[in-house]
């Protein structure tokens, strides 16, 4: 019994002496992937807030459950739940940097209050001469080791102090109580870190990379070739009578931005399209459309509009001045091609205006 007790105490010291360490995160999750997570058996629910994907684990874990089992290495201070999900589907074998949720302001905390589980806050545990020392009551964030005293804390108590959860039995972990923060719909409670609960995790949401147009529609004219989102060179031809052409651009991603001939244009709100009437001169008009994705990626599409030359070979008017009152004979008619006029000798020139 004596040797067993020594081993048990030693195990506590090893866990207790682990320092708080910042966890490196990777922006590898798109919002659409986050919203699809409940289809995975490892995830209970998700909430998207600004650029953060919060999710809760289907399996329950203790807060202290961040060792490794020999086959799947774990990240320090990231419980099995967050890392298990990152190592499983939908990205088999890839750690996407999932960490315990650490809402650093009231808005983030409110956004995730529909879920319940461990969050990345616990009492600090230090060591002295190789022995674990009872925490002095200071609560710290697991992601960067900063104190809750320095900023936001989501405790359910109106006074802003930690309050025991209803089922918290105050059990001692060997020779002192180790408490961690449990998030609920009414706020945080302190609970025994060795209890099994869902874990609230988070991943940053990456900026959308989509630069595609989903369609180009010309008002009254055909696009050649037909639109395909992987084709970036198009042509059309308009008669000489057209001085402008209406172009509707449909964006794949409403968060993308568009310029036409380097001039920014504003997207609509319905199907995410841009409508522009573009002036076209006679001959070839090159229209450059550039789509910039939320993450800065760009894609250029070129539309060449050829306006045909005029086929009209008749005058619409013919005026002759400086004639001393003499007139054309016969009177002007666009379908008449031959006229005569007699002027007095004193006029050595006439002015003809078509």
Tens of pLDDT along 49-79? 988 999 998 888 887 664 333 333 334 444 5
pLDDT at 116: 93
Tens of pLDDT along 3-35? 333 232 222 222 332 332 233 333 456 888 888
Least confident of 118-127, 243-252, 286-295: 118-127
CA dist 82 and 101 (Å) reads 9
Bridge partners (DSSP) listed for residue 238: 307
> Which residues does 19 contact at the CB level (< 8 Å), separation at least 6?
145
pLDDT at 272: 65
CA dist 199 and 185 (Å) reads 14
Q: Which long-range contacts (CB under 8 A, 24 or more apart) does 110-114 make?
A: 111/47, 111/49, 111/52, 111/54, 112/47, 112/49, 112/54, 112/183, 112/200, 113/183, 113/184, 113/185, 113/186, 114/45, 114/47, 114/185
Higher pLDDT, 182 or 135: 182
* Exposure of 249 in the CB half-sphere (CA atoms within 13 A): 28
pLDDT band at 188 (very low <50, low <70, confident <90, very high): very high
**% of the chain exceeding 70 in pLDDT:** 71
Least confident of 136-145, 201-210, 300-309: 136-145
Q: Can you tell me which residue has the tokens 């870190």?
A: 193
Copy the structure tokens of residue 157: 């108590």
Query: HEC string of the chain?
Result: CHHHHHHHHHHHHHHHCCCCCCCCCCCCECHHHHHCHHHCCCEEEEEEECCEEEEEECCCECCCCCCCCCCCCCCCCCCHHHHHHHHCCCCCCCCCCCEECCCCCHHHHHHCCCCCEEEEEEECCEEECCEEECCCCCEEECCCCCEHHHCCCCECCCCCCCCECCCCCCCCECCECCEEEEEECCEEEEEECCCCECEEEEEEECCCCCCCEEEEEECCCCCECCCCCCCCEEEEEECCCCCEEEEEEEECCCCCEEEECCEEECCCCCCCEEEEEEECCCEEEEEEEEEECCCCCEEEEEEEEEECCCCCCCCCCCEEECCCCCCCECCCCCCCCCCECCCCCCCCCCEEEC
Work out whether the CA dihedral 226, 227, 232, 236 comes out positive or negative: positive
pLDDT band at 291 (very low <50, low <70, confident <90, very high): very high
> Which residues does 14 contact at the CB level (< 8 Å), separation at least 6?
none
pLDDT at 137: 63
pLDDT band at 84 (very low <50, low <70, confident <90, very high): low
pLDDT > 90? residue 183: yes
Tens of pLDDT along 264-281? 988 766 666 778 788 888
Task: Provide φ and ψ at 13, rounded to 5°.
Answer: -60, -40
**% of the chain exceeding 90 in pLDDT:** 25
Tens of pLDDT along 311-348? 777 777 888 887 788 888 888 887 788 888 888 888 88
pLDDT at 10: 27
> Which residues does 178 contact at the CB level (< 8 Å), separation at least 6?
64, 122, 123, 125, 135, 192, 193, 194
pLDDT, average across residues 223-240: 95
Tens of pLDDT along 121-166? 887 765 444 444 555 567 888 777 788 877 888 998 876 777 776 5
């Amino acid at each position: 019994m004596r040797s067993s007790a020594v081993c048990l105490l030693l195990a506590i010291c090893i866990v207790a002496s682990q320092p708080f360490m910042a966890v490196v995160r990777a922006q590898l999750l798109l919002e659409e992937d986050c919203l699809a997570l409940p289809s995975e058996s490892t995830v209970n629910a998700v909430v998207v807030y600004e650029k953060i994907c919060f999710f809760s684990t289907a399996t329950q874990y203790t807060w202290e459950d961040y060792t490794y089992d020999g086959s799947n290495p774990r990240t320090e201070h990231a419980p099995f739940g967050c890392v298990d999900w990152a190592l499983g589907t939908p990205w088999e074998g890839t750690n996407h940097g999932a960490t315990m949720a650490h809402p650093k302001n009231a808005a983030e905390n409110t956004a995730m209050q529909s879920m319940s589980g461990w969050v990345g806050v616990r009492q600090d545990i230090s060591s002295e001469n190789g022995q674990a020392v009872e925490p002095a009551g200071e609560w710290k964030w697991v992601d960067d080791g900063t104190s809750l005293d320095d900023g936001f804390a989501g405790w359910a108590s109106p006074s802003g102090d930690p309050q025991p959860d209803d089922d918290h039995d105050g059990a001692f972990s060997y020779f002192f109580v180790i408490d961690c923060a449990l998030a609920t719909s009414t706020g945080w409670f302190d609970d025994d870190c060795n209890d099994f609960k869902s874990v609230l995790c988070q991943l940053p949401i990456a900026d959308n990379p989509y630069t595609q147009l989903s369609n180009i529609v010309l008002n009254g004219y055909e696009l050649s070739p037909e639109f395909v989102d992987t084709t970036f060179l198009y042509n059309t031809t308009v008669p000489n009578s057209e001085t402008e052409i209406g172009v509707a651009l449909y964006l794949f991603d409403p968060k993308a931005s568009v310029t036409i001939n380097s001039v920014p244009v504003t997207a609509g709100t319905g199907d995410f399209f841009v409508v522009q009437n573009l002036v076209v001169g006679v001959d070839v008009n090159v229209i450059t459309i550039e789509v910039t994705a939320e993450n800065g990626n760009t894609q250029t599409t070129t539309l060449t509009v050829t306006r045909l030359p005029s086929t009209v070979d008749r005058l619409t008017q013919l005026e002759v001045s400086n004639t001393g009152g003499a007139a054309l004979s016969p009177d002007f008619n666009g379908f008449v091609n031959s006229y005569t006029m007699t002027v007095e000798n004193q006029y050595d020139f006439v002015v003809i205006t078509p």
